Amino acid sequence: MSDTVVVGLDVGGTSTRATALTLSGERLGTGRAGGGNPTSHGADRAATELLNALREALTDVDPTRVAAGTIGLAGAARLLADPAGRAAFDRAWHDAGLRCPYAVHGDALVAYASGTAAPDGTVLIAGTGAITAQVRDLRLDRVADGHGWLLGDAGSGFWLGRESVRRLLADLDAGHTLGALTTAVLTELMGSAEIAARPRDTVDATIQTVTRRPPIELARLAPLVVSAATDGEPVATALVAEAAAHLVDSVSRIRPAGAVTPVVLGGGLLTADTPLATAVRAEVARHWPAAPLRVAGDGAAAAAWLAARELPE
C-alpha cells in the first residue's frame, strides 16, 4: 500500500482544486482550474475544468497508482441525480487516466473534514452562498439553508451585495446624502457616484444595471461591505451584524443548545480575517461556549483524506 495514491478535488463556482496524496500524507501534485460547479456552469464545462485540474495534479503521478478519489462540490445531490452530468464527470475521470472509483460529496462535508477529524460536529459556510450542516460519523446528517440566492443563503456574499444595493436605493428614494458604502456601491455599479438631477433616474438606471446581469453577480459587492465595515462605516457595520445573526440562526436550526462538538467555519467570508468572521465567532461562542471553533483548510486535501478512509484496511 506504500505506492497507493488518493485524489481529492474541491470544486467551486470560481475555481477547481485537485491534489494527489500518498496514504502517508505526502503531496505528489496539485492542480487548479476554473470554476467547475455544474449547477453554475453546466456539466460539460464543469467536467472540462475537472479534467484540467486532474491532469495538472497528476503530471508526475502514474494514474494507475490512484486507488480512490473524492470530489467535493456544492449541489452534489443534483449531480448524482443527473445522468448526463454524472456521465460528463465519468468521462473526465477516465480521460485523466484514472480507472478507480470516485465518490461525490457535498462541499459542506469536505469543508468540515478540512477543519477537523472529529466524526461529529457542525460546519457553517459563507461565501457566495451560505449553508450549515450537521455531521455525524463524517457523513452529512441535517442541513440548514443553502437554499440558493432566491429563497435563502441569508448572510452570504450574495445577501450582503443585495442588501447594500437596497440601502443605496432607499437612500436615493429618500433623498439622503449617500454614505461611504452606498457611494462605493453606486460607483461600482454605474461607474460614477454622480446622482441625476432627478434622483429617480439614478434609481431606475441602477435597477436596470442590476437586473441585466445574472443575480448571483451581486455577490461581487460583498467585499465593498466588508471593507466599509472594517473602516467602521455605520451601514456596513449594521449589515455585517445582521448577516452574522442570520448565519448563526441557521446553525441554531440544526445544532442542539449546549452541544460541545466542533464548529468549523468555511467559505471566504468566514476563513479570512473579516468583520463578519469576527462577528460570527462571537455569536458561536455565545451560543456554544464549550465548542471548539475551527477554520476550514485545504478542501482538496480533505477530499483526498475522505477517499483514503474508504479504502479497505
Question: Among the listed ranges 78-82, 113-117, 161-165, 293-297, which one has the minimum average pLDDT value?
Answer: 78-82
**pLDDT reported for residue 37:** 74
Residues 181 and 139 occupy one common structural domain: yes
pLDDT, one tens digit per residue, over 164-188 is 999 999 999 999 999 999 999 999 9
**pLDDT reported for residue 56:** 97
Residues 72 and 178 occupy one common structural domain: no
Q: 246 to each of 124, 156, 169, 211, 305, how far by Cα in Å?
A: 11, 9, 22, 25, 31
**pLDDT reported for residue 64:** 92
pLDDT higher than 60, residue 263: yes
pLDDT, one tens digit per residue, over 203-221 is 999 999 999 999 989 999 9
Looking at residue 64, which CATH number applies to its domain? 3.30.420.40
Residues 223 and 134 occupy one common structural domain: yes
Confidence of residue 12 (pLDDT cuts 50, 70, 90): confident
CB atoms within 10 A of CB 257: 7
What does the block give as the cell for 227?
A: 471593507
Q: 108 to each of 90, 133, 137, 198, how far by Cα in Å?
A: 22, 7, 14, 47
pLDDT, one tens digit per residue, over 147-170 is 988 999 999 999 999 999 999 999
Residues 126 and 42 occupy one common structural domain: no
Q: 68 to each of 16, 21, 36, how far by Cα in Å?
A: 18, 11, 20
- Dump the DSSP string for the chain: -TT-EEEEEEE-SSEEEEEEEETT--EEEEEEEE---HHHH-HHHHHHHHHHHHHHHTTTS-GGGEEEEEEEETTHHHHHT-HHHHHHHHHHHHHTT--S-EEEEEHHHHHHHHH---SSEEEEEESSSEEEEEEETTEEEEEEE---TTT--TTSHHHHHHHHHHHHHHHHHHTPPP-HHHHHHHHHHHSS----SSHHHHHHHHHHHHHHS-GGGGGGGHHHHHHHHHTT-HHHHHHHHHHHHHHHHHHHHHS-TT--S-EEEESHHHHSS-HHHHHHHHHHHHH-TTS-EEE---HHHHHHHHHHHTS--
Domain that holds residue 82: 5-116+298-310
Confidence of residue 2 (pLDDT cuts 50, 70, 90): low
Residues 249 and 277 occupy one common structural domain: yes
Q: End-to-end CA distance of the chain: give it in Å, rounded.
A: 10
The stretch 287-301 carries a mean pLDDT of 96
pLDDT higher than 70, residue 265: yes
Phi then psi for 61, rounded to 5 degrees? -125, 135
pLDDT, one tens digit per residue, over 97-146 is 999 999 999 889 999 999 999 999 999 999 988 999 999 999 999 999 98
Task: Name which residue leads in pLDDT, 12 or 137.
Answer: 137
| Separation of alpha carbons 207 and 90, rounded Å | 42
Residues 55 and 157 occupy one common structural domain: no
pLDDT, one tens digit per residue, over 18-74 is 999 999 889 999 999 988 777 767 788 888 999 999 999 999 999 999 999 999 987
Residues 304 and 248 occupy one common structural domain: no
pLDDT, one tens digit per residue, over 226-243 is 999 999 999 999 999 999
Residues 213 and 267 occupy one common structural domain: yes
| Separation of alpha carbons 19 and 31, rounded Å | 6
**pLDDT reported for residue 233:** 97
Number of domains the chain is built from: 2
Residues 246 and 306 occupy one common structural domain: no
Residues 272 and 303 occupy one common structural domain: no
Residues 197 and 143 occupy one common structural domain: yes
List of residues 6+ apart from 287 with CB closer than 8 A: 248, 251, 252, 257
pLDDT higher than 90, residue 273: yes
Residues 193 and 243 occupy one common structural domain: yes
